[in-house]
Structure 1
Amino acid sequence: MYINLDLEAEEPIYTQLKNQIIAGIAKQEIVPGEGLPSVRSLAADIGINLHTVNKAYQHLKQEGFILIHRQKGVVVNPDGIPEADEIYIGQLKHLLHPLIAESVCRDVSEKEFLELCSGLFNEFQKGEGGK
């Protein structure tokens, strides 16, 4: 998996890293049980502070995407990613709400919005966009 961070973006680096790892899992570029680089190794490879990588890994751990073992290192959750529950759906709605509101303000039609969402969703469908 290739990590591409925009150090000048408004989005925090740890969030970009977290999102790219999640995208790698969604596209099956990283599979359950597969190891990820250590905090120090990944930080050195991409030229960022190790605390930034640690923060991204901690968020991924809290969300159930990875496990961190003292002996085995960092691995993608071998049991798979937890399925969406009511809490996740609520968070998703909270994140989508301002995007939809801004889209309406900018005269993006519902059809255009849904087509955009559908196209992006299809990029991550299992078996598509993978290795």
Structure 2
Amino acid sequence: MFIELDFESEDPIYLQLMRQIIEGIAKKELLPGDALPSVRSLAADIGINLHTVNKAYQQLKQEGFLQIHRQKGVMIHPDGIPKATEAYKMALEKNLRPLIAESICRDLKQEEFSEICERIFDNLMKGGDQL
């Protein structure tokens, strides 16, 4: 999996890193049990602070995406990613709400918004990079 960070983005680096790892899992580029580089190794490879990588890894561990062992290192959770719960669905709705509101303000129609969501969903399910 190739990590590409945008250092000019308003999104924090740790969040960009998290999103790319999650996308790699969604596209099946990263499978349960796959090893990830150590915090130090990944930080050195992409030229960021090791605390930034550690923050991303710890957050992904907390959300059930990663398992971290002192001896085995960091890996995609071998039992797979936890399924969507009601709490997850509520958080998803909370996160989508401002995006939908902004889309309405910008005169984007519901059908257009839905088409964009479907295209992204289909693309990730097929393992693609194109939008």
TM class by shorter chain equals: over 0.9
User: Normalised by the size of structure 2, how large is the TM-score?
Assistant: 0.96
Pairwise CA distance, 1:124: 1.6
2:64 matched to 1:64? yes
Q: Distance in 1 between matches of 2:85 and 2:124?
A: 20
Matching residue of 1:129: 127
Q: Distance in 2 between matches of 1:42 and 1:88?
A: 29
Pairwise CA distance, 1:8: 1.1
Supply the RMSD in Å over aligned alpha carbons: 0.7
The number of aligned residues is: 128
Runs of 4+ with deviation above 3 angstroms: none
Q: 5+ residue gaps in structure 1? A: none
Q: Percent identity?
A: 65
Matching residue of 1:29: 29
Q: SS of the residue aligned with 1:3?
A: coil
Matching residue of 1:116: 116
State the one-letter code of the partner of 2:22: I
Pairwise CA distance, 1:68: 0.2
Matching residue of 1:9: 9
Q: Distance in 2 between matches of 1:93 and 1:114?
A: 14
Pairwise CA distance, 1:112: 0.2
Relative contact order (alpha carbons < 8 A, sep ≥ 6): 1 or 2 greater? 1
